[in-house]
């Protein structure tokens, strides 16, 4: 008996299109801040004093420092925010940005512009056991992950490379994941994981996981006193790594692809990236 394969749908002239991809398509989205959505800016008159989270994924953030972010600059036709090195966004509270087993990943779009300190940071999570994404160099942005209070044995993961990323838009990824019986801390720039300085392996039961509840800062380090000059586009944070056992980075690759195509940075992705030639 021949099997009937439908080629049309009742009342339709073509198969339905899949829904557009969104960060909410990835499980465990816990924080989402998008500077391209100017309606999310919190303002006092014309001054930007904070940013609202997208879809209640995370708390609203306020401004710290002695100035304010500047609006009116764009990347790929999308609005972004400029931070002049004396201001940052901060959550006055803490959010559950890490899974109960210590799993977490975050992916953001930034343009570091002027580095004055090795701890100038794109973003940071502040708790007892936490991390920050910092410059590594005192005058260039090379990229490192500062690990707090015994998270990993090295204290610092990096530099990612000695390529200066100042004045370049980059997609930065940090992942605390479980792969083949080991916990890994990895960081990526533009979807690439270049060297031994990009990965740290921990035993499965370390007792030094990231804390679940963290205070988020954008464009500042963990205590807020090292602020980076540059532009901020978007940041996604997930309180878990729900990826498949044999492919623990399937979801952060999707987040990178989403952000790359949205912000016109797909050319930065390596040729073997799953979303180099098409958005997720």
Measured between its terminal Cα atoms, the distance across the chain in Å is 38
Instruction: Check whether 258 has a pLDDT greater than 80.
Output: yes
Query: For residue 257, what are the domain limits?
Result: 29-268
Residue 21 in domain: no
Task: Let me know if residue 193 belongs to a domain.
Answer: yes
Number of domains making up the chain: 1
139 within a domain of the structure (yes/no): yes
On whether residue 101 sits in a domain, the answer given is: yes
Each residue's pLDDT tens digit, 87-106: 999 999 999 999 998 899 99
Percent of the chain clearing pLDDT 90 (strictly above): 72
Task: Pull the structure tokens for residue 230.
Answer: 């540059």
Residue 20 belongs to a domain: no
Q: What is the per-residue pLDDT for 205?
A: 41
Residue 133's CATH number:
2.60.120.200
Structural domain includes residue 1: no
Q: What is the rounded distance in angstroms from the CA atom of residue 58 to the CA atom of residue 265?
A: 25
Whether the per-residue pLDDT at 227 is higher than 90: the answer is yes
3-class secondary structure per residue, 101-124: CCCEEEEEEEEEEECCCCCCEEEE
Average pLDDT rounded to a whole number, residues 156-162:
91
Identify whether 148 is part of a domain.
yes
Residue 278 domain-assigned?
no
Find tokens 């980059």 and name the residue.
170
**Residue 147 banded pLDDT, cuts 50, 70, 90:** very high
User: What is the tens place of the pLDDT at every residue in 9-19?
Assistant: 445 555 556 67
Question: What's the mean pLDDT in 29-54?
Answer: 98
The answer to whether residue 2 scores a pLDDT higher than 50 is no
pTM assigned to the model: 0.91
Give me the pLDDT at residue 6, please: 46
- Kindly report which listed range (21-30, 31-40, 202-211, 217-226) carries the lowest average pLDDT score: 202-211
């Amino acid at each position: 008996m021949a099997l009937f394969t439908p080629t049309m749908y009742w009342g339709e002239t073509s198969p339905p299109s899949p829904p557009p991809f969104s960060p909410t398509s990835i499980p465990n989205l816990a924080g989402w801040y998008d500077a391209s959505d100017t309606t999310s800016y919190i303002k006092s008159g014309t001054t930007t004093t904070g940013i609202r989270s997208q879809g209640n994924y995370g708390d609203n953030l306020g401004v710290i420092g002695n100035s304010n972010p500047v609006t009116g600059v764009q990347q790929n036709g999308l609005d972004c925010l400029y931070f002049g090195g004396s201001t940052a966004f901060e959550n006055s509270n803490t959010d559950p940005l890490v899974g109960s087993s210590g799993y977490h990943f975050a992916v953001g779009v930034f343009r570091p512009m002027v580095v004055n300190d090795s701890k100038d940071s794109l973003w940071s999570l502040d708790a007892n056991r936490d991390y920050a994404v910092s410059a590594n160099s005192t005058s260039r942005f090379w990229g490192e992950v500062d690990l707090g209070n015994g998270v990993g044995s090295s204290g610092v993961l990096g530099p990612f490379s000695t390529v200066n990323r100042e004045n370049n838009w980059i997609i930065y990824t940090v992942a605390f994941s479980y792969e083949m019986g080991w916990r890994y801390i990895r960081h990526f720039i533009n979807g690439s994981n270049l060297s031994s300085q990009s990965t740290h392996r921990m035993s499965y039961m370390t007792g030094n996981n990231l804390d679940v509840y963290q205070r988020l800062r954008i464009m500042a380090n963990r205590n807020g006193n090292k602020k980076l000059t540059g532009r901020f586009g978007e940041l996604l944070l997930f309180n878990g790594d729900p990826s498949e056992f044999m492919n623990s980075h399937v979801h952060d690759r999707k987040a990178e692809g989403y952000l790359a195509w949205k912000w016109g940075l797909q050319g930065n992705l390596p040729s073997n990236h799953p979303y180099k030639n098409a958005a997720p």
